[in-house]
Structure 1
Amino acid sequence: MTHRATTKYQTRANRKVTLTTVPKVRLYVERPEEKEEWFVNIGHVTDRGRWRTEPHAHPEYGQLIFVRTGRGVMNLEGSRVPFEGPCVLLLPTECVHGLDYEVDADRWVVTIEVAYLTQVNGKLHQFIQLWALPRMIPFASSAGAVAFFSQIEKLERELEAKKFGHVVGTEALLTSLFLMLVRDTRLGHVDNEGSTRNEIRLADRFRELIDQHYRQNLSLQDYASMMAVSLVQLRAACASATKQSPTKMIHARIITEAKRNLIFSEMSVEQIAFGLGFSDAAYFTRFFRKEVGQAPSHFRVTTRGQSGGSK
C-alpha cells in the first residue's frame, strides 16, 4: 500500500489556493503493471506492539476491517473512537480516518472497489444506509464474531482460488458479510422502508454528483439537469430516501470538507473558504456558524484540542 498526497488547485480572484488536507491512499492493485482487473481485495495483518497510521482517505474504495483481537483508537474525521476486538471498522469511500492500534492486533482488511460496492449495496437499501457513515461495530456475542470470521476466511479462499464462478461466489459471500452487519447494527433514525428503488437510486446518484461538484456552487436545477429529472422529482427522492432536502445534503457535504480542512490542514479560514467556492470568507464564516453552531476558528481550536488532529 502506498500513500500519495493529492494536491488540488482552485483559483479565485487571481488567487491560487493549494488544498493539502489529508493523504489520498492508492492501493498497490492500482499499479500500471497490474494487468488483472479486481473488485475485492483481502489482506490479513498481524502486528506486535503498537502500530499507527496517520489520517488518510481512500478515494476509490470502501474498507471493512475485522479486528479479531487487539484494541486501539480510530481518529474518525477528527473525533477519537476507541475500539477493541472483536469488532468491525467500516470505512466508506473518502471518509478521513487514522488508526492507532495500542496493543498486538490481528485484523483482516477487506477493500472493495467503489463501483462494485455500489452494485452490492443496491441489493438492499439497508446496505446503502450501513455504508452511509463510518462505523465501529462491536459484536454482541463471541458466537457472532466467530461466524463473521468464518465468513471472512471463506471470502479469502474464494478470492485466492479463482475457480469457475468466483465472481458470483465472491458477491454472495460479500452480501452475507453485509447482511450479518446490518442485522447487528442500529442504523439510526433514517427509515426509507417506504422509498421506491428509483428514489433510493436517485438520492444515491445525487450524493455522487455532490461529491464531484460541491465546490462549484451549482444550483439545484443544475444537478437536476445532470440527472435528467425535474426539481420536484429530485426533492421528493431526497425527502423519501434520506429525510433531507437536496440543499441540506449539499450543505452537509461542504461542512464535512470544511471540518476536514480545519482539523487536518494548516490553511487559513480564508484559504479554506476560497477553496470551497466561497468568494467571501466572512460569508463562509456565517455559513459555518449557522450549520455547526460555532465559528470556524473556534471549531479548529476546540476540535484539535479534543482529538489531537493537528500535526
Structure 2
Amino acid sequence: MTHEAKVRHQPKAIAYHELKTVPKVRLYVERPEEKQWFVHVGHVTDRGRWKTAPHAHPEYGQLIFVRNGRGVMNLEGRSVPFDGPCALLLPTECVHGLDYEHDADRWVVTIEVSYLTQVNSKLDEFVGLWASPQVITLADSDDRGMEVHLLIQRLKEEAESDAVGHIIGTEARLTMLLLALLREARLEEPTSESGTRNDIRVVERFRKLIDEHFRENLPLQDYVSMMAVSLVQLRAACSSAAEQSPTKLIHSRIITEAKRNLIFGDMSVEQIAFGLGFSDAAYFTRFFRREVGQSPSNFRTNAKSSS
C-alpha cells in the first residue's frame, strides 16, 4: 500500500503553533535599516568556545569556511566532526548546530535562496554541490585553504562595495568561490553529458515541488502535470540523476521532516503523523519503520540518547 492511499490533510484542531518544532532562524543580516542584499560575508572572531543549538535557515544557503580550528556539527541529528581548513555547505532548510573548539577562525557566507538558485543555474554541477549538506576538506594542501580564504575576502569586499558593476562583480566572485569548492568536492562526473544535464534540471524542479507539497499527499501524476513532463520522463530522470524512483524521493522528503520533528521537536508521534498528512498514526509508524528500520519512538529515543 502506498503512502498516497492513507494520507489526509492534518486536522485543524491540533494547535501546532504551541508545540516545539525545528527552530527557524532569522539571520542577523535581516535588519530593515540595511540596504537590500543577496550575499553577506561575515568574519567571526569570537574568542573561546562557541556553540549554537540546532536550527535551520529556510530562506538562505550558507557556506562556512573554517580557516583553522575544529569542532563538531550536529547535522540532522548526526554528529559530524570537522577540522580546518574546510568548508561546511549548508543548503536551505538543513537543520544544523555547531560546536566549535576554542578560537576557531571562521568566515560565514550567507546567500539568499532565489539568488543561489540563479547562480546554480550557471552550472549543473552547482546543483549537485548544494544537493545535500557536506564538509569539504581543504587540508590536503595549504594552497587550497589559502585560495578559498582569498576568494572569500574578495567576495566580501565586492559585496560591500558601491563601485560601478559591484552586483556583477559579486556574482562573478561568488561563482569563482563555488567553482573552487566544487573542484575540491570531487563530485562524480556525469556519464552522459547532455542527457544527465537535462535529468539534473528535471530532478531539481521535482525536488522543489516536493518541498512545497510533500504534506499534501499529491498523487505522482499531479507532480507530472505541474512539471509538464511525462511520467516516463520523470522516472527516467530520477533514475539517471538521483538513482531513485520519484515515489522514493517523495518518501525520503517525508522521512527527513519526520526525523527533524522527532529529534528537535516535542510533538507526539501522532501529532507528527497528522502534520505530515497522515490520518492514521499507526500507518505512519509502519511507513516510518519500513523506510528507516525502526519505529518513530525508538528512533527518537536512540537519537536523543546519542546526542
Query: TM-score normalised to the size of structure 2?
Result: 0.91
Aligned to 1:250: 250
Could you give the per-residue CA deviations for residues 13-67 of structure 1, whole angstroms, max 9, x where no partner exists? Answer: 8444445322111124434444x33211111111111111100000010000011
Aligned to 1:4: none
Stretch of structure 1 that moved more, 133-142 or 222-231: 222-231
Aligned to 2:77: 78
Q: Secondary structure at the match of 2:150?
A: helix
Aligned to 1:97: 96
Following the alignment from structure 1 to structure 2, what is the Cα–Cα distance between the partners of residues 282 and 189?
Answer: 42
Stretch of structure 1 that moved more, 225-234 or 199-208: 225-234
CA RMSD, 1 decimal: 1.9
Amino acid at match of 2:37: W
Contact 1:67 1:87 in 2 (8 A): yes
Aligned to 1:24: 24
Aligned to 1:42: 41
Contact 1:192 1:241 in 2 (8 A): no
Amino acid at match of 1:57: A
Q: What does 1:70-149 align with in structure 2 at a 5 Å threshold?
A: 70-139=69-138, 140-149=140-149
Higher strand share: 1
Q: What does 1:1-311 align with in structure 2 at a 5 Å threshold?
A: 11-12=10-11, 14-18=13-17, 20-34=20-34, 36-139=35-138, 140-187=140-187, 193=193, 195-306=195-306, 308=307
Instruction: Please state how far the C-alpha of 1:177 moved relative to its aligned partner.
Output: 1.1
Unaligned runs of 5+ in 2: 1-8
Unaligned runs of 5+ in 1: 1-9
Following the alignment from structure 1 to structure 2, what is the Cα–Cα distance between the partners of residues 196 and 292?
Answer: 29
Could you give the per-residue CA deviations for residues 87-131 of structure 1, whole angstroms, max 9, x where no partner exists? Answer: 111100000000111211211100011111111112222211111
Q: Percent identity?
A: 68
Contact 2:22 2:265 in 1 (8 A): yes
Contact 1:42 1:110 in 2 (8 A): yes
Q: Which has the higher contact order (CA 8 A, sep 6+)?
A: 2
Following the alignment from structure 2 to structure 1, what is the Cα–Cα distance between the partners of residues 33 and 209?
Answer: 31
Q: Secondary structure at the match of 1:94?
A: coil
Aligned to 1:3: none
Instruction: Please state how far the C-alpha of 1:167 moved relative to its aligned partner.
Output: 1.7
Amino acid at match of 1:164: V
Contact 1:190 1:243 in 2 (8 A): no
Following the alignment from structure 1 to structure 2, what is the Cα–Cα distance between the partners of residues 13 and 37?
Answer: 37
Following the alignment from structure 1 to structure 2, what is the Cα–Cα distance between the partners of residues 266 and 253?
Answer: 20
Query: TM-score normalised to the size of structure 1?
Result: 0.89
Amino acid at match of 1:52: K
Instruction: Please state how far the C-alpha of 1:198 moved relative to its aligned partner.
Output: 3.7
Contact 1:195 1:241 in 2 (8 A): no
Following the alignment from structure 1 to structure 2, what is the Cα–Cα distance between the partners of residues 149 and 242?
Answer: 32
> What is the number of residues matched between the two proteins?
297
CA gap 1:277/1:11 in 2 versus in 1, 3 angstroms: closer
CA gap 1:280/1:192 in 2 versus in 1, 3 angstroms: farther
Contact 2:10 2:278 in 1 (8 A): no
